Amino acid sequence: MDQRAPLTLLTDDQEMLVTEVRRFCDEVVSPRVREMDEKGQLDPAILEHLFEMGLMGIDVPDEYGGSGMGFTEAILVIMELARVDPSVSVVCDVQNTLVNNAIRRWGTEEQRRTWLPQLASKIVGAYALSEASSGSDAFSLKARAEKTDGGWKITGNKLWITNGKEASLFLIFANVDPSKGYKGITCFLVHRDDAGFSVGKKEDKLGIRASSTVELVLDGVVVPDDRVLGEVGKGYKVAIETLNEGRIGIGAQMVGLAQGALEHAIAWAKEREQFGKPIASFQAIQTALARMDAEIESARLAVLNAARLKEAGRPFVREAAIAKWIGAEVAERAASIAVEIFGGYGFTKDYPVEKLFRDAKIGKIYEGTHTMQLLTIAKGLLA
């Protein structure tokens, strides 16, 4: 397509990174999108490319085998991947903004040296907080961890776990002392091969179907003391602070998705003729496209602003909530308008905007619902 996302406020190195990822998306990802969506499965070749390009360890430092870039670069990559396939973007997003981020920030030096090189080069990670009864009330966990001689025994079930089918390493949140409430929550590093651990049902989803979402079964999984991430009883802090950063990633996903919808709509409007001329010549179509473009640019700047505040070590919780909220709003609206511009064709699976419309809905749900983002924003205003 001729229309490209503007590279606003980017350095030369960042522009080069976006251009490289864009080429990969157009040449490698795009031809596989429909088949992956229909099968509900990520093509292993895509995952191999993500590792080879260093995109699964973007801001992991060089000393741990990562690409040594920053959080903003991770956000730019997530955004660009989502332009072509939000499912691929999710895989990269969870790896970088949640799993790698948590280990880099909360892990011991031994944990960093053990896990970060593998995560950057060959293994997928998953973040397991949610349960059947624990959604927006994230800390009403039923998973339990009991102290044993030299370690912990974990029992329970996790639900809605992204990357669960492909992952080898799981960040599992469980409560070591329910009488302490959220202050008993602890994060554990659990490997797929640990006895008692198994992956359960894979969800059959509306959108982002190639991104696996599964149940995890923890049937007395025993891990040693050195698999506690952070301090015992401080898992709530690991969860909250990691998710605050992860929401910027979701905002990036949604902006990328919206940009993809806009590009498809522009190309179609130039090609589709009615009454003897391209529909792009009609003012109704022009204003629809203009609104999409203006809203996407606003959301993009909100995401980049939140990312740079985070990198600068300044408060960013409100800005992260804004980025996720506006990103989800814009993505859903842009995808819907794109379907309408395509007309009847847009309602079929033969054209890509139908998939983007389905993919967009998750932006208002995962890593904090739409309403929860507004409450976070309000809390910042009224503090």
- Please write down the HEC assignment for all residues of 248-317: HHHHHHHHHHHHHHHHHHHHHHHHCEECCEEHHHCHHHHHHHHHHHHHHHHHHHHHHHHHHHHHCCCCCH
Geometric angle at alpha carbon 377, from 374 and 379, rounded to 5°? 110
Is 367 a catalytic site residue? yes
Three-class DSSP category at 19: helix
Distance CA 146, CA 182 (A): 16
Element containing residue 375 per DSSP (H, E):
helix 370-382
Phi, psi of 291 (to 5 degrees): -65, -45
Q: Say how many C-beta atoms besides its own lie within 10 A of residue 181's C-beta.
A: 12
Geometric angle at alpha carbon 126, from 101 and 198, rounded to 5°? 150
End-to-end CA distance of the chain: 46
| Contacts by 174-177, CB closer than 8 A, 24 or more apart | 174/141, 174/143, 174/144, 174/145, 174/218, 174/235, 175/141, 175/143, 175/144, 175/145, 176/144, 176/145, 176/146, 176/147, 176/152, 176/232, 176/233, 177/233
373, amino acid identity:
Q
Phi, psi of 139 (to 5 degrees): -105, 10
Name the active-site residue from 80, 329, 354, 367: 367
Element containing residue 152 per DSSP (H, E):
strand 151-162
Distance CA 322, CA 360 (A): 17
Active site residues: 367
